[in-house]
Structure formats: C-alpha cells, structure tokens
C-alpha cells in the first residue's frame, strides 16, 4: 500500500484496501470454518467472535504486527488457558482482583506501553485544550510518528490521540518537553510518579519506550492502567478507533488505533499496544460486559498479542461470575468480649469474581479484634471478615457489633432502628450508673 504524507496511507488507497479486505474476508471465512481449517478440536481454538466489519489495514507500512481480521481463542472453559506470552495478568479493572497471573512480577521491557505513564503524567499537569509548540527535537523523532513540524502549534489533546492510538514517538517527546522543559526532566518525573503510586518494579528511561532500558512487570502495568483509566479523558482517548488531526500545512493527518480488539472483540474499550525486539509484542486490553470490566496485560508475546489478550478476557468473562461475597449488615458470626458472646455483622459490602466451578467453595472467616473491651456500641468495629476461595484471599471487610455491650460486659437489647446518638446516650448513662449507682 502506497503511503501518503508522513508515511500514512492516502484516503483513496486506504478505501480500496478496505474494500478488498472486506471482499476477501467475506469469501474466505465461511469456507475456512466449514472445512475446519481454523478453530475446532484440531487447533484447540475457536473464533472469539465474528467481526461486525472488516478491521482496517496496518496504518504504517512495515509495522511488525499487522492487523488480523479474526481472533482465535480456546473454547470456553474454567481451566486456565495455556499462554504463549512470557508474562501476563488478568484483573478486575475496578478493584484490581487478580483472576489469572503468569510470572506477573518478572521485570521485562515494555516498549510503547511506556506511553501509558506518559499520558498519566501529562493529564495530571496539562489541560487537553492547552497548546504546545513543537521543538526541532520532537520533530526529528523516528519510527512511528505523527509528522510534527518544527514550530507547529498543536493541542495537548491531539498529541494524546497520536500518542495512544498510533503510538507516535514525536508526540511523546513534544508532550514531555511541554510539561517539563526537557525529556530528561520529564523521565525523572515519570519515575517519581511511579514510586508514588506503588510501582516498585518499574523504571522509565524515555517517554516513548524506544530506549529498551526501561522495564516493568505485568502486575505494575495493570496497576498503572487502572490509575490511568480514572484520569479524566484517558478512557475516551484509548477507546477511539480513528481520528483526524489538523496539520499546519497540507491535508489533515489521519491516526488509527493499533489495538485491533476495538474492532474484533465485543465490549473492548482500550488500551495500548507495543513492540520492540527485546520487548516482543505487548498489549494492554480492557473490555466491559454487563457493567463489569476486566483488564488483561500481555508481555513478550512471540507472535500475536491480540489472540492472547482475547483469550485472557474470554477466560475472565466465561469462567468467572461477579458476585457479592459479603453484604453490608450480613451476619458473620459472634465474638467474645469480656467473656460475653456478641453478634457481629458485616460493616461493608465486598464484591468479587469467583470461578463458576468454585462458587460453593467461598469461605468467610471472622477474626476478632482482641483489643476490644466493653462498653461496645452497636456498629463499633470488633473484628475483620476474610473471604477466601480454596485458601486464596479475595478481600476483607470490617465486622461490627450488632448490639450494645455495657461497661460491665452485659448485653443490652439490640439497637434496631436506633441512631448513633442513642447509643452514645445509653453508654454514657451506663457509665454514670456504674460509678454513681449507689448514690442514685
């Protein structure tokens, strides 16, 4: 395909390629499925889904990871899938609960996944509407680029689209210089931010990941992405498939998201791809179904990360069930305070994912707080409820007293319908009577 200005396909040639791919796919896929050439027992993989429309061609010639037109994943199972990637993790996007992990704490080069941190630092310090003047240094970057020109004035928002969709290296440098003045100072800021959010196994050496000295882990990348998703505007950017960006001279520039899951995987919402030879193929993928969102990280895939990302997401959605593990106010047992048994209830709600075949194995253990002494007010914390499945902790919630216990260690009627002020008044009354009772 002939590239247009700045290395991007021209609109006319892109349209022709799309039409050709659509026709080829329409003719080839039914025959392949019928003949058993793909999917089925022979390969152990099946199509995750039929695309609603033909995915776009590779946006830049020579990209090491051409866009596939279908996804091949194992059949649904509660058995964890075999993964080709070196490291991987699957977590709940909202809570961080780990559903599957493979060497998730091993250090590895992460290529352009670095740009997730670049976006986080920028979004914390610059408005998307603010404008950047492109330096000669930014305009001279190689690899995947937007084609920035020296002296060009461009918005932070458009640079973020170029950064996250097309993985533009010149956009990364322009943003870094806009925030910190120099790339080196921006990289130092990235590492300060990494430590502040608890990324203990991560080190950055550039804002774009081309250095190959930078490293992280699947677990740290998952943590970083969960934080990024809460930054205003980030989720909208990474869920965007294509965008036109104004040019200071000539036609508008077209950027296209390299995350093919946005076209092929139902419910996909982001996030980022990456590749260098040392890092291999990398992918951070998010998807949502029925109000529940999962996050998959694939590092060091030798061939194609999209099948691997879809496999992880499928495993989460197919093999697990989102359930309420403990509901607020739910009875969780009794604790002993001054020799008296006191009923306890959950002081909060804990939601989580449980594998379908392990739904009957959920265990709730009440661990009393040995420091609790009378008097005890209804609602006062008296311990912790630990929820486990086959010995693996899924989380904790506080256990609180369901009724009053006076200063002498004698239970008082349950405080149904009472207000906190009632408990305080009653405890004060009990204290007064215990001290001055003989004079009253």
Q: 35 versus 231: which is more confidently predicted? A: 231
Check pLDDT > 80 for residue 59.
no
pLDDT class of 211 with cuts at 50, 70, 90: confident
Instruction: Determine the Cα–Cα distance for residues 190 and 208; give it in Å rounded to an integer.
Output: 11
Highest mean pLDDT of the ranges 42-46, 68-72, 436-440: 68-72
Query: What pLDDT digit, counting tens, does each position of 250-265 carry?
Result: 899 999 999 999 999 9
Check pLDDT > 80 for residue 437.
no
Residue 258 half-sphere exposure toward CB, CA atoms < 13 A: 28
Q: 420 versus 255: which is more confidently predicted? A: 255
Domain count, the chain: 2
Burial of 31 (0-12, 13-18, 19+ CB in 10 A): exposed
Query: What pLDDT digit, counting tens, does each position of 106-117 carry?
Result: 999 999 999 999
Q: Domain boundary residue among 290, 320, 350?
A: 320
133 part of a folded domain: yes
Q: Domain boundary residue among 270, 285, 320?
A: 320
Helix (H) or strand (E) holding 221: helix 218-229
> Which one is catalytic: 135, 167, 216, 403?
167
60 part of a folded domain: no
Percentage of residues in the chain with pLDDT exceeding 90? Answer: 72
Highest mean pLDDT of the ranges 391-395, 410-414, 425-429: 391-395
309 part of a folded domain: yes
In eight-state DSSP terms, residue 9 is B
Strand partners, 45: 74
Query: What pLDDT digit, counting tens, does each position of 282-298 carry?
Result: 999 999 999 999 999 99
pLDDT of residue 408: 58
Are 216 and 197 contacting, i.e. CB atoms less than 8 angstroms apart? no
pLDDT class of 248 with cuts at 50, 70, 90: very high
Query: What pLDDT digit, counting tens, does each position of 356-370 carry?
Result: 999 999 999 999 999
User: Do 305 and 346 reside in the same domain of the chain?
Assistant: no
Mean pLDDT of 378-402: 95
pLDDT class of 425 with cuts at 50, 70, 90: low
**Residue 379: φ, ψ to 5°:** 95, -5
pLDDT of residue 80: 94
**Residue 269: φ, ψ to 5°:** -130, 0
Q: Domain boundary residue among 279, 302, 320?
A: 320
User: Do 389 and 284 reside in the same domain of the chain?
Assistant: no
Q: Residue with structure tokens 């099946």?
A: 46
CATH number at residue 404: 2.60.410.10
User: Do 302 and 339 reside in the same domain of the chain?
Assistant: no
pLDDT of residue 413: 53
Query: What pLDDT digit, counting tens, does each position of 131-174 carry?
Result: 999 999 999 999 999 999 999 999 999 999 999 999 999 999 99
C-alpha distances (whole Å) from 243 to each of 176, 362, 413 are 22, 47, 65
User: Do 234 and 368 reside in the same domain of the chain?
Assistant: no
Check pLDDT > 80 for residue 202.
yes
What are the residues whose beta carbons fall under 8 Å from the beta carbon of 102, sequence distance 6 or more? 83, 85, 87, 88, 89, 218
* 336 catalytic per annotation: no
> Which one is catalytic: 65, 85, 102, 112?
112
Which of 210, 191, 183, 186 is CA-nearest to residue 274?
210
Query: What pLDDT digit, counting tens, does each position of 220-245 carry?
Result: 999 999 999 999 999 999 999 999 99
CATH number at residue 226: 3.40.710.10
Among the residue ranges 206-215, 238-247, 308-317, 348-357, the one predicted with the least confidence is: 206-215
Q: 34 versus 210: which is more confidently predicted? A: 210
* 115 catalytic per annotation: yes
What are the residues whose beta carbons fall under 8 Å from the beta carbon of 72, sequence distance 6 or more? 38, 39, 43, 45, 46, 47, 48, 307
C-alpha distances (whole Å) from 230 to each of 167, 233, 268, 415 are 21, 9, 17, 39
Burial track 333-364 (b if 16+ CB lie within 10 A, e otherwise): bbbebbebebbbbbbeebbbbbbeeeeeebeb
CA dihedral 12→306→300→287, nearest 10 degrees, is 120
In eight-state DSSP terms, residue 360 is G
11 part of a folded domain: no
Q: How far apart are the first and last CA of the chain?
A: 98
pLDDT of residue 153: 97
Which of 70, 59, 67 is CA-nearest to residue 14?
59
pLDDT of residue 7: 34
Check pLDDT > 50 for residue 94.
yes
Percentage of residues in the chain with pLDDT exceeding 70? Answer: 77
Check pLDDT > 50 for residue 11.
no
> Which one is catalytic: 115, 206, 216, 272?
115
Structural domain harbouring 394: 327-434
User: Do 279 and 395 reside in the same domain of the chain?
Assistant: no
């Amino acid at each position: 395909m002939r590239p247009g200005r700045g290395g991007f396909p021209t609109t006319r040639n892109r349209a022709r390629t799309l039409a050709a791919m659509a026709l080829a796919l329409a003719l080839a896929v039914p025959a392949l499925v019928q003949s058993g050439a793909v999917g089925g027992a022979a390969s152990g993989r099946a199509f995750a889904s039929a695309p609603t429309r033909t995915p776009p061609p590779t946006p830049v010639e020579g990209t090491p990871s051409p866009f596939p037109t279908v996804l091949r994943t194992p059949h649904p199972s509660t058995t964890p899938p075999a993964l080709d990637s070196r490291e991987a993790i699957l977590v709940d996007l909202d809570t961080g609960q780990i559903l599957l992990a493979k060497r998730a704490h091993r250090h590895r080069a992460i290529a352009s996944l670095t740009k997730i941190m670049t976006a986080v630092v920028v979004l914390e310090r610059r408005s998307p509407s603010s404008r950047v003047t492109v330096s000669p240094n930014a305009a001279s970057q190689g690899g995947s680029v937007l084609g920035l020109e020296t002296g060009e004035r461009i918005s932070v928002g458009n640079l973020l689209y170029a950064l996250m969709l097309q993985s533009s290296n010149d956009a990364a440098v322009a943003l870094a210089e806009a925030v910190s003045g120099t790339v080196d100072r921006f990289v130092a800021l990235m590492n300060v931010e990494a430590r502040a959010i608890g990324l203990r196994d991560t080190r950055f050496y550039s804002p774009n990941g081309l250095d190959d000295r930078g490293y992280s882990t699947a677990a740290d990348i998952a943590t970083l992405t969960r934080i990024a998703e809460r930054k205003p505007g980030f989720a909208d950017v990474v869920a965007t498939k294509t965008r036109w960006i104004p040019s200071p001279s000539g036609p508008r520039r077209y950027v296209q998201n390299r995350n093919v899951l946005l076209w092929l995987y139902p419910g996909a919402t982001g996030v980022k791809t990456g590749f260098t030879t040392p890092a291999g193929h990398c992918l951070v993928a998010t998807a949502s179904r029925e109000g529940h969102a999962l996050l998959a990280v694939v590092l060091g895939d030798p061939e194609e990360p999209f099948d691997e990302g879809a496999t992880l997401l499928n495993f989460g959605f197919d093999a697990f069930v989102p359930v309420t593990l403990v509901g607020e106010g739910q009875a969780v047992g009794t604790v002993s305070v001054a020799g008296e048994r006191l009923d306890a209830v959950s002081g909060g709600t804990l939601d989580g994912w449980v594998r379908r075949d392990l739904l009957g194995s959920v265990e709730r253990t009440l661990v009393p707080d040995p420091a609790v002494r009378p008097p005890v007010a209804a609602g006062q914390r008296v311990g912790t409820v630990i929820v486990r499945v086959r010995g693996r902790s899924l989380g904790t919630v506080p256990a609180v007293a369901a009724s009053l216990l006076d200063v002498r260690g004698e239970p008082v009627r349950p405080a149904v319908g009472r207000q906190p002020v009632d408990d305080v008044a009653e405890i004060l009354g009990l204290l007064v009577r215990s001290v001055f009772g003989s004079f009253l």
